[in-house]
A and B are shown apart, each in its own frame.
Chain A
Amino acid sequence: MPAPTCASCHAARAALRRPRSGQALCGTCFCAAFEAEVLHTVLAGRLLPPGAVVAVGASGGKDSTVLAHVLRELAPRLGVSLRLVAVDEGIGGYRDAALAAVQRQAARWELPLTIVAYADLFGGWTMDAVARSTAGSGRSRACCTFCGVLRRRALEEGARLVGATHIVTGHNADDMAETVLMNFLRGDTGRLARGGGLGSPGEGGALPRCRPLQFASQKEVVLYAHFRRLDYFSEECVYAPEAFRGYARDLLK
């Protein structure tokens, strides 16, 4: 049996049922609804004021690809300008290919791109060097822990370099759920208490950060990328299988 008719345009065949509303929508109407919801998240949360210069943390992966594409659609209505900032962690064979995807996106969307490298920012330390120095020490699982801290700093530096007033990242609802579960499993009550907001207003002189996709499910992010025919990089980082996050993800799926 073919799919039912789209509940919005009543013309095309529906492509998916939205988990929250139960509505069956076609690809085009779904993408429009998805964009409207991100707009609502940004406006209702007063995340990006008119005139903001927004640094988009771009990895070439699905989430930041969708985020940059949606914000580019919304930028005229929000009155903000966008800069792509990518971080080169120095992970041989993985990051190079991902950065190539970011470069293709920047060219296609005519957005300025700045790449900041761990090696330049952190006295020659690349993630490969960090991994070598932790290997066999019993701390090798901590690779992603180092990388998370360094990437947060690198994105901040990159954003300042391009004169940004705000930073946005592509974290989606599944990422948020994983983080809550990880903090719970670790008994990290401090992070559990602090999490859950729409972002941070920028404490201690840091730029304000937010996550416009934080109410969008992973599935809808991927389907948006599919229906908009977005080109993104989808290989797993070579160090990711060691990460604690993987356990939280398997429990949630």
Chain B
Amino acid sequence: MAAPLSVEVEFGGGAELLFNGVKKHQVTLPGQEEPWDIRNLLVWIKKNLLKERPELFIQGDSVRPGILVLINDADWELLDQGELDYQLQDQDSVLFISTLHGG
């Protein structure tokens, strides 16, 4: 049983527009059987934070192409067991930046 986690979830580059314009969210993820990874976090975000047009943020079980994900300020592609399989630690920060808006 994984203990509850406190993580900072942040949206930028226009992605925040899908979350009532709120960029920073301090969230507590409840304790659950399996460990929290980004795949679970996305499901949780869709259920608890996402306000409109979910298809602009999530496609399948991942983020929409063109949305960058930084975990503790590092590209999620860079981490061992990264991307969707990254296991969240208490006090992690996860930042989603849209590259799709404006220019």
Contact flag A4-B12 (CB < 8 Å), given A219-B68, A235-B101, A235-B102:
no
Size of chain B's interface in residues, with CB distance under 8 A? 24
Asked whether, in the complex, the Cβ of A14 is within 8 Å of the Cβ of B102, the reply is no
Question: Which residues of B2-28 have CB atoms within 8 Å of chain A's CB atoms?
Answer: 12-14, 17
Out of A98, A222, A232, A249, name the residue touching B68 (CB < 8 Å).
A222
Kindly provide the distance from the CB of A29 to the nearest chain B CB, expressed in whole angstroms.
13
Contacts of B12 in A (CB 8 A): 226, 234
Asked whether, in the complex, the Cβ of B102 is within 8 Å of the Cβ of A98, the reply is yes
Contact flag A61-B79 (CB < 8 Å), given A234-B13, A234-B98:
no
Asked whether, in the complex, the Cβ of A237 is within 8 Å of the Cβ of B79, the reply is no
Asked whether, in the complex, the Cβ of B78 is within 8 Å of the Cβ of A234, the reply is no
Out of B75, B80, B99, B101, name the residue touching A236 (CB < 8 Å).
B101
Asked whether, in the complex, the Cβ of B103 is within 8 Å of the Cβ of A61, the reply is yes
Contact flag A175-B103 (CB < 8 Å), given A1-B80, A1-B81:
yes
Asked whether, in the complex, the Cβ of A27 is within 8 Å of the Cβ of B73, the reply is yes
Asked whether, in the complex, the Cβ of B78 is within 8 Å of the Cβ of A14, the reply is yes
Q: 15 A-B Cβ contacts within 8 A?
A: A1-B80, A1-B81, A2-B74, A3-B72, A3-B78, A16-B77, A61-B101, A61-B103, A62-B102, A170-B103, A218-B66, A223-B68, A226-B70, A234-B17, A236-B100
Which residues on B are within 8 Å of A, measured CB to CB? 12-14, 17, 65-66, 68, 70, 72-75, 77-81, 97-103
